[in-house]
């Protein structure tokens, strides 16, 4: 394998992104994943980048300076309650914690370093475990997300490297912050597969949200019905990602890899198994090589079953990216299970696949609804492709 095939961005921070001990967005998710990769022997001889904090100028590529000052004040215990509410801070989802600005800036910096690794340092792929905070807005925190590392990274790459970016988000929750940041931009295409907003935060991501002005057609949403299972999820994912990549022809692909569509996740109603998390990065890898010379940056995201789901899902991503999928053909390492079993709140998995999961009675109905949604989401792309084909046929 080329020693510049892939690089992992991970490292302890002096200021961890940790709201409190019981908050579902807990940094233990990252530690468990890295620990699993260590026990597999999948990181020891691989390149590793330590994240560093983004500068204020880098944060201001997307965020309003007054919001950044509010985050700094919040982390120092001097933000009035009335102001905190206006900035989406001190809420149940996004409570204040000491040094929250430093912690959030560290996550952003990790994603920026991943982008530089691919676009400047010669790596084909990069995976920042701690990234994927896709709900952050220009002037407001939202849904566990303070600064939006993906939006900042996209704007950073646009300005520094002049590239066209395809952002693909498979978190169970709509990638609203990234979509709205580039809603009128024809050089950034966002594709989000998520649970329909009828039942789940943030309530957006409708199929009719397609962009505006010069950006019309470059925001694509496929809201999936609740209780979507593996086959329907993967059919929609493969069709949407493949057709959008062919339509947009990006210079680089960024994937947000939330692991909360799994049937064990406590915060969503999708119903997929670990098989989906083996297939998601496989297609991203293929399409990155087909359209971008391999350029692919991946970030983490949601995922709230930190014991049974997230470590396996993100480990599978790194194994795919780094060409080490052979490590996932056997059992989960016993050494990892022994290390964590006394602390785990659930029985740790012993295999990379899930046992048979309960079938959903509405399976046919859900599949039909998802197929119809996909048709609506890709209508403008398929129509344009048909028109082009007719023009070609006319001149032959």
DSSP-assigned letter for residue 21: T
Say if residue 202 is preceded by a cis peptide, omega within 30 of 0: yes
Contact 270, 233 (CB under 8 A): yes
- Residue ranges and CATH numbers for the domains of the chain are 6-48+110-393 (3.40.800.20)
Polymer length in residues for the chain: 396
The pLDDT assigned to 2 comes to: 54
Provide the β-strand partners of residue 7.
Answer: 126
Over its C-alpha atoms, the chain yields an Rg (Å, rounded) of: 20
Provide the β-strand partners of residue 65.
Answer: none
Contact 254, 153 (CB under 8 A): yes
pLDDT truncated to tens, each residue of the chain (396 aa)?
556 899 999 998 889 999 999 999 999 999 999 999 999 999 999 999 999 999 999 999 999 999 999 999 999 999 999 999 999 999 999 999 999 999 999 999 999 999 999 999 999 999 999 999 999 999 999 999 999 999 999 999 999 999 999 999 999 999 999 999 999 999 999 999 999 999 899 999 999 999 999 999 999 999 999 999 999 999 999 999 999 999 999 999 999 999 999 999 999 999 999 999 999 999 999 999 999 999 999 999 999 999 999 999 999 999 999 999 999 988 999 999 999 999 999 999 999 999 888 888 899 999 999 999 999 999 999 999 988 888 888 877
Contact 142, 202 (CB under 8 A): yes
The pLDDT assigned to 3 comes to: 66
pTM above 0.95, yes or no: yes
Distance CA 292, CA 303 (A): 28
Strands, sheet with 252-256, edge to edge from the N-terminal-most edge strand:
48-49, 6-9, 125-128, 296-299, 252-256, 165-169, 188-195, 219-224
Burial of 100 (0-12, 13-18, 19+ CB in 10 A): buried
Give, rounded to a whole angstrom, the gap between the first and last alpha carbons of the chain.
44
């Amino acid at each position: 394998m080329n020693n510049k095939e892939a690089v992992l961005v991970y490292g302890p921070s002096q200021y961890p992104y940790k709201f409190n001990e019981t908050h579902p967005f807990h940094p233990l998710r990252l530690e468990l994943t890295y620990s699993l990769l260590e026990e597999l022997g999948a990181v020891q001889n691989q390149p590793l980048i330590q994240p560093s904090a983004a500068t204020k100028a880098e944060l201001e590529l997307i965020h309003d300076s007054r919001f950044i000052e509010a985050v700094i004040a919040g982390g120092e215990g001097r933000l009035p309650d009335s102001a905190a509410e206006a900035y989406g801070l001190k809420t149940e989802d996004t409570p204040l914690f000491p040094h929250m600005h430093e912690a959030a800036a560290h996550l952003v910096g990790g994603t920026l370093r991943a982008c530089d690794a691919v676009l400047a340092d010669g790596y084909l792929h990069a995976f920042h475990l701690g990234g994927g905070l896709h709900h952050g807005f220009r002037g407001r925190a939202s849904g566990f997300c303070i600064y939006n590392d993906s939006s900042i990274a996209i704007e950073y790459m646009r300005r520094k490297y002049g590239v066209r970016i395809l952002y693909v988000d498979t978190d169970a929750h709509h990638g609203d912050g990234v979509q709205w940041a580039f809603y009128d931009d024809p050089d950034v295409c966002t594709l989000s597969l998520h649970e329909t907003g009828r039942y789940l935060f943030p309530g957006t991501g409708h199929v009719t949200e397609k962009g505006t002005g010069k950006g019309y057609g470059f925001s694509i949403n496929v809201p999936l019905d609740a209780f979507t299972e593996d086959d329907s999820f993967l059919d929609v994912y493969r069709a949407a990602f493949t057709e959008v990549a062919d339509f947009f022809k990006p210079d680089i692909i960024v994937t947000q890899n939330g692991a909360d569509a799994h049937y064990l996740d406590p915060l969503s109603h999708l119903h997929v198994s670990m098989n989906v998390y083996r297939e998601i990065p496989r297609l991203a890898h293929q399409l990155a090589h087909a359209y971008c010379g391999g350029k692919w940056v991946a970030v983490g995201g949601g995922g709230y079953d930190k014991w049974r789901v997230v470590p396996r899902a993100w480990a599978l991503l790194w194994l795919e990216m780094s060409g080490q999928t052979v490590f996932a053909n056997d059992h989960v390492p016993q050494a990892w299970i022994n290390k964590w079993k006394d602390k785990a709140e659930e029985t740790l998995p012993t295999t990379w696949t899930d046992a048979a999961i309960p079938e959903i009675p509405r399976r046919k109905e859900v599949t039909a609804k998802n197929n119809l949604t996909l048709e609506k989401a890709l209508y403008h792309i398929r129509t344009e492709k048909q028109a082009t084909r007719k023009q070609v046929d006319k001149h032959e």
